[in-house]
Amino acid sequence: MQETVAKHETAAKHETAASLTPALRRCAHALLGRWPVAEARAGARSRADQDADDLAHEALLSFWRAGLLAREGGALQPPGALRLALLRCLTRLAREFSRREADFALFEETEASGGFQRDARHSPWSPEARALPRLPFESRAVLALATLERLDYADIGAVLDMTGAQALIRLARARAELASALTGVPQPHLRAASSLCEADLHGYADDLLEPSRRAEVEALLQRDGEAARRAAEWRRGAERLRGAFAALEAEPLPATLDFNPPAPAARRRAARKPWQGLFGWLSGAQRPVIAAH
């Protein structure tokens, strides 16, 4: 756990628009519940990609217009603040989009009928990713934030405008809904009373427990086979879900998501050749404006 926290703290200290954009795009796909598919004809972009890229673009554009991306990494910005703010904005946009788009079943029907073929990004061993479209938006959101973004419950609450305890309750319900979607059998999100509370079980599965409490939970799990099975399944499901979206995150970003702040004038003049002139300036500093229009 300590290594995971240290890694995330280091990433937060060096967060930039460029470093956050791939994960933002990945999260947009998960929030929409659009399992990325490619049309049968070669070279055609899928509607899933377009919608997710549009949402990520809108979130980044709103921050860029407000000048928030230019100040990233500044001394006045708390570590991780830009990431949480972008995720909060993206989640709000995705929620509004989901309310407008009621016909999500169209994608599942089209894929089942053979109108689309699966792209190479698909991971056939990730049933969790294929089950995302069948979950309510709020369940997809909390699963994406906990599993793909690996946020703790307090940060999930900050993104979803609730307390950390409420975020944990919602995560427990979302995991039960996901299990129901996978098995076809309704699953309760609360288990019978035992020596292990639900908060500890989820915290153990998400690597959020302090070392001392983690050791206690591991000892209890050795005597509670059902709890150990549930925690292990949550961990395996999270790994499969992250693996399913890993290829998407590694893809080159579309031009509409390039919001790198322009380099300082002196550095930019020193880096470019004299003949670049106006065209070099336009392709660098003004790229976000061109993409926006």
pLDDT number for residue 282: 40
The pLDDT-based confidence of 197 (bands split at 50, 70, 90) is confident
pLDDT number for residue 142: 97
Q: Which of 249, 252, 261 is nearest to 23 (CA)?
A: 249
The pLDDT-based confidence of 257 (bands split at 50, 70, 90) is confident
The identity of residue 178, as a single letter, is L
Could you state, in order of their start, the residue ranges of all structural domains in the chain?
A: 2-261, 262-293
* pTM as predicted: 0.76
Q: Which residue has better confidence, 182 or 122?
A: 182
- The mean pLDDT value for 223-252 works out to 88
Residues 6+ apart with CB under 8 A from 101: none
| pLDDT at 52 exceeding the cut of 50 | yes
Q: At what angle do helices 164-183 and 198-205 cross, to 10 degrees?
A: 80
The pLDDT-based confidence of 247 (bands split at 50, 70, 90) is confident
Q: Is 5 helix (H, G, I), strand (E, B) or coil?
A: helix
Mean pLDDT of the chain: 76
The pLDDT-based confidence of 103 (bands split at 50, 70, 90) is low
Q: Which residue has the tokens 């998960």?
A: 30
- The mean pLDDT value for 149-153 works out to 96
Residues 155-164 have pLDDT tens digits of 999 999 999 9
Distance from the first to the final alpha carbon of the chain: 44
Q: How far apart are CA 89 and CA 71, in angstroms?
A: 17
